[in-house]
Amino acid sequence: MTYLSEKSNNPITLSTLVKYKKTGEKFSCLTCYDSSFAHLMAIAEIDVILIGDSLGMVVQGQTSTLPVSVADMVYHTQNVVRANSHALIMTDLPFMSYATLADAVANARAVMQAGANVVKIEGGGELAEIVSTLAKNGVPTCVHLGLTPQSVNVFGGYKVQGKTDAQAEQLLNDCETLVNAGASIILLECVPAELAKKVTEKFAVPVIGIGAGVDTDGQVLVMHDMLGVYTKKVAKFVKDFLKDSGNETGDILGAFVNYHNAVKNKSFPSVEHSF
């Protein structure tokens, strides 16, 4: 296996992702929480690194993302940024850290100053004022819709969203409101592939999917999941790229390269990984 260059001359920006969308080129995204794995992702040329509040479960051993703090996100963002030489860096604002506009501004500033390029928040059209205010202050946002883990107690568990006509219409309306407010990226989790395709085709901003079919502009997985390090029940949308036959060297770097290539050539996700 031939690995890609360790130092990229073409760092990924939001403009790059918009260009990819226009040309139909897919892009890869993985979660990451430390410098060692970020270094390997730079070599594999993963397009987007998400410092996700999933660290609550896969790093801290929590049962959900809810206990994660802004200080945790700042610390792990700093770790990743030190080793990154290629990817766009996106960081979650954790549970209740953007409950008010003032909180959103202060906590977005904290993670951006730690090195994030984009902040990710969960919710629907009710986030429009936050998205607009952050955009006016130079903070790009990725809005996470569908299954939003920070609202797990509202949903009553981790369930597919957007299955009914009413739910699908609401999701489309939320996306329109948020894009009009200035959202830079949409992330869809556990929504039917047909609905995700509609969202991707309707809006000019890049759309990232997880359990949302192959037609979104990009794909994201939790790094531990795609390496087979499961801390919970394996979700339908997860594939173990460490054990995958396409990983010729059978190592972690090979798994990252294989995942990146599978997203680019649209072999992942397949129907079995979609709803």
Concatenating the DSSP letter of every residue in 223-262 gives HHHHTT--SSPPPTT---SSSSTT-TT-SHHHHHHHHHHH
pLDDT digits (tens, 9 = 90+) for 6-41: 445 589 999 999 999 999 999 999 999 999 999 999
The total of other beta-carbon atoms located within 10 Å of residue 88's CB is 24
Q: What is the pLDDT of residue 2?
A: 46
Annotation says 6 is catalytic: no
Highest mean pLDDT range out of 7-11, 125-129, 145-149, 241-245? 125-129
Question: For the packed helices 70-83 and 35-44, what is the interaxial angle rounded to 10 degrees?
Answer: 50
For domain 14-273, the question of CATH label 3.20.20.60 is answered with yes
Q: What does the alpha-carbon distance between residue 50 and residue 163 come to, in Å, rounded to a whole number?
A: 27
Q: At what angle do helices 193-202 and 165-181 cross, to 10 degrees?
A: 30
Res 249: pLDDT: 74
For 72-114, the pLDDT digits (tens) are: 999 999 999 999 999 999 999 999 999 999 999 999 999 999 9
- For the stretch 99-115, what's the b/e string if a residue is b when 16 or more beta carbons lie within 10 angstroms of its beta carbon? eeeeebbebbebbbebb
Domain boundaries, the chain: 14-273
Residue 94: per-residue pLDDT: 98
Q: Could you tell me which residue, 90 or 271, shows the higher pLDDT?
A: 90
Catalytic residue among 25, 45, 189, 248: 189
pLDDT of residue 155: 44
- Segment 241-259 shows an average pLDDT of 88
- Residues 86 and 12: beta-carbon distance below 8 Å: yes
